[in-house]
Amino acid sequence: MTTDAGPGTRHRLPARPAGPAAGPDPTRSTPMNEPLSPDRIRADVAELLGCDPAEIEPDEDLRDLGLDSVRLMTLVERWRAEGAPELELPDLAEKPELAHWTALLTGAAS
């Protein structure tokens, strides 16, 4: 494919790869095949909030750490794909605390 960049100038564009890129997400620090454990849930939340997992208190309102609807939906989609297919956005939004989410996703009492 070529583009016209003006009189007498033509540039060849690089070919696009066919289909979506394959392979693991290089920006993801948590392994995709790790089960939804309390440590995994904490790591996923910390990754999206850009903080160290140890900085998150179990009963802290995650909105105070920067959780927003886009990040929340990212977690819902990730966790649906990785073992919680029935998870819905309101399940997490109603009480945005790590302890609540851990109990919800692992079946453990909070």
The tens digit of pLDDT for each residue in 16-63 reads 444 333 333 434 444 444 569 999 999 999 999 999 999 999 999 999
- pLDDT score recorded for residue 40: 95
Residues in the chain: 110
Cβ–Cβ contacts within 10 Å for residue 102, how many?
21
The answer to whether position 5 is within a domain reads no
Q: What is the CATH number of the domain that holds 92?
A: 1.10.1200.10
Q: Which domain holds residue 107?
A: 34-110
The structural domain count of the chain equals: 1
For 93, the enclosing helix (H) or strand (E) is: helix 89-93
Let me know: does 40 contact 30? Beta carbons within 8 Å. yes
The answer to whether position 13 is within a domain reads no
The answer to whether position 94 is within a domain reads yes
Cα-Cα-Cα-Cα dihedral of 40, 45, 51, 57, to 10°? Answer: -90
